[in-house]
Amino acid sequence: MPRVGVFGGTFNPIHFGHLLIADEICEFLELDRVLFVPASVPPHKPAGELAPAADRFAMTELAVREHPRFEVSDVEFRRRGPSYTVDTLQALGTRGDLCLVIGSETFLDLLTWKDPRAVAALARLVVVPRSGKAFDPDAPASQKVLRELGLEGFVRPEAAPGCPEAPVLVEAASLPISASDLRRRACEGRSLAFRMPASVAAYIRDHRLYRQEG
Ligand code: ATP
């Protein structure tokens, strides 16, 4: 059974922070591939700041080209309505053993998702502490999420093969890059260099994404 990382996000836009953690997790967990799954209609993000779904998908496709194990999935574009991860994992279940890659701030938000217990049952959670946001797996907020999901504590990547159900905490390199900062930069006409693949920066410029006039 192939081991598949599922990396969902708004990718508004995709940047090196996303790509680096995906590469590191691919290595740490010896994944066969990482599927980037851009959300067509992200339930948790303000619609006003969203680039069109087709542009976010196109930028994600450009970004993953250089990595032999990265792919983009259009599974959320083939459904109508909000892009719920539980539905995505159900649809991807035939692809292999699934690991769901999320940043630590997303993990702390998981209980607001649709059917979070099913999410945790359909894929092993892989959590990356996000740069600039302290994450304590033993803090009451983390423990509450684990409890409500029916999970015990985190394991480290080296213990992961022996505990196939346990969520994994991976200290992958998290760059201090956020999509919100990049949107602000694009809006102000500032540099996007060294924060995302040059092909994605060129796409943003050419399509005038994130400009005030739209
Ligand atoms: P925004 O700033 O618009 O909220 P974002 O980059 O946080 O954007 P997404 O594109 O939805 O939002 O992120 C997808 C996933 O990638 C989330 O789980 C998020 O926690 C994680 N992530 C995003 N940026 C980083 C980073 N620099 N390091 C580690 N994880 C990240």
Q: Which phi and psi (to 5°) does residue 157 adopt?
A: -55, -35
What's the pLDDT at 153?
A: 92
Does the CB atom of residue 195 touch ligand 1 within 6 A? no
Does the CB atom of residue 83 touch ligand 1 within 6 A? no
How confident is the model over 81-106, as a mean pLDDT?
93
Residue pLDDT, tens place only, 62-73: 999 989 999 999
In whole numbers, what is the pLDDT of the chain averaged over residues?
94
And the tokens for 36?
Answer: 């980037």
Query: How far does CA 42 lie from the centroid of its chain?
Result: 12
Cβ(137)–Cβ(169) below 8 Å: yes
37/153 Cα distance (integer angstroms): 27
Percent of the chain whose predicted confidence (pLDDT) is above 90: 85
**H or E element that contains 202:** helix 198-206
Does the CB atom of residue 95 touch ligand 1 within 6 A? no
Residue pLDDT, tens place only, 110-145: 999 999 999 999 999 999 998 888 899 999 999 999
And the tokens for 180?
Answer: 């919100």
pTM: 0.95
